[in-house]
């Protein structure tokens, strides 16, 4: 992992396990540190729920919202050029208009009560598409069992965003079972072992100068703008949403090379509006011209940013590399929450929104 560009002044507060525990009353850190175990457990849960394979030439649609949808996006990135059929993620009340009976629809809702996902489940049934469900229960599990649709049972007790490994593995395995990509079971096992090593390197028991803690301090007090490309584009979005939900602050994500055609101009006014930081997520397989763009864009943004950071994935396989930056971003978001003195767990405004929607 490399870091480039300007650095912000770090805060003096420690990020030891004890210091984190005083803020993290809901123990979100423990769920992040359990990512390797979640990867292995997810494989077992898919295998126990689904027997046999089927063929849907139109590909796979993953229907979900928030932390339940990100698994589909990460799975699609991990499969990359190895996917043999379209894999699409829908975050809406409906399925893509091209969905047919020859499409598999994976409806992913941690709670099982996400209204957008329930609508997609019913739409898929009306179309006659092959359905699979990943959930802890709720209305989605109830309908699926009534319809004889396979249910991948997820463990309860998490915030939905902490089930990222379960949702990613579910999407990867369903993609293989329906013919949209190769089976990557062994690669997932290897990625779990690799992630264990990274947990030791970046976790709370490591030194105060580790990449995750250093990053959190560099981003503290700024509005992070995360940029990805190719494999790292959905990871950049994951970083944004984790900082939103865990650190309870604004963060934004964009994708190269597109941001070089618009967003880069906006950085000229950043110092007059606030403290914005830029984070570029790199990968060994990113197109050479995009790599050049990252270096040049960073240099042009640096004079206007409170912090400029460039990070790269770790690992050999695409799954290892995807999960490495997912882990890093999750840890950084927890550490940022602690530096702000806010419990990363509660998402009261989301619960209020759902409650008010339910009254309408």
Question: Where in the sequence numbering do the catalytic residues fall?
Answer: 245, 261, 354
- Do 192 and 39 meet the contact criterion of CB atoms below 8 Å apart? yes
- Phi, psi (5° rounding) for residue 121? -60, -45
Task: Give me 162's structure tokens.
Answer: 């902490």
The 3-class secondary structure across 30-64, one letter per residue, is HHHHCHHHHHHHHHHHHHHHCCCCCCCCCCEEEEC
CA atoms of 267 and 111, how far apart (whole Å): 39
Q: Which residues, in sequence order, are bridge partners of residue 224? A: 277
- Do 8 and 222 meet the contact criterion of CB atoms below 8 Å apart? yes
Neighbours of 355 (CB within 10 A): 9
Task: Give me 205's structure tokens.
Answer: 């028991």
- Strand, helix or coil at 61? strand
- Do 98 and 118 meet the contact criterion of CB atoms below 8 Å apart? no
């Amino acid at each position: 992992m490399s870091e480039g560009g300007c650095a912000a002044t770090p805060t003096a507060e420690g990020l030891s396990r004890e210091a984190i525990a005083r803020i993290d009353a809901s123990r979100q850190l423990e769920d992040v540190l359990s990512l390797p175990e979640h990867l292995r457990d997810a494989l077992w849960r898919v295998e126990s729920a689904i027997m046999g394979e089927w063929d849907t030439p139109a590909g796979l649609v993953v229907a979900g919202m928030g932390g339940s949808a990100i698994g589909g996006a990460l799975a699609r990135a991990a499969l990359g050029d190895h996917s043999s059929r379209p894999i699409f993620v829908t975050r809406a009340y409906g399925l893509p208009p091209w969905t047919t009976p020859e499409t598999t629809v994976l409806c992913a809702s941690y709670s099982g009560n996400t209204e957008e996902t329930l609508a997609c489940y019913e739409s898929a049934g009306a179309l006659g598409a092959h359905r699979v469900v990943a959930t802890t229960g709720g209305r989605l599990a109830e309908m699926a069992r009534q319809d004889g649709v396979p249910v991948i049972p997820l463990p309860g007790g998490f915030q939905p965003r902490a089930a990222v490994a379960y949702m990613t593995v579910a999407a990867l395995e369903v993609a293989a079972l329906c013919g949209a990509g190769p089976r990557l079971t062994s690669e997932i096992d290897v990625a779990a072992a690799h992630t264990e090593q990274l947990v030791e390197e970046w976790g709370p028991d490591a030194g105060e100068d580790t990449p995750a803690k250093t990053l959190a301090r560099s981003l503290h007090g700024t509005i992070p703008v995360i940029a990805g490309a190719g494999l790292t584009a959905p990871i950049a979005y994951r970083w944004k949403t984790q900082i939103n939900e865990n650190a309870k602050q604004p963060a934004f994500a964009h994708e190269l090379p597109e941001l070089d055609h618009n967003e880069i101009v906006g950085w000229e006014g950043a110092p007059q509006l606030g403290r914005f930081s830029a984070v570029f997520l790199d990968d060994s397989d990113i197109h050479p011209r995009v790599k050049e763009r990252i270096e040049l864009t960073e240099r042009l943004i640096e004079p206007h940013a409170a912090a400029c950071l460039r990070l790269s994935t770790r690992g050999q396989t695409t799954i290892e590399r995807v999960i490495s930056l997912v882990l890093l971003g999750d840890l950084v978001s927890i550490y940022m929450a602690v530096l702000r003195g806010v419990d990363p767990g509660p998402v009261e405004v989301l619960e209020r929104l759902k409650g008010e929607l339910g009254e309408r």
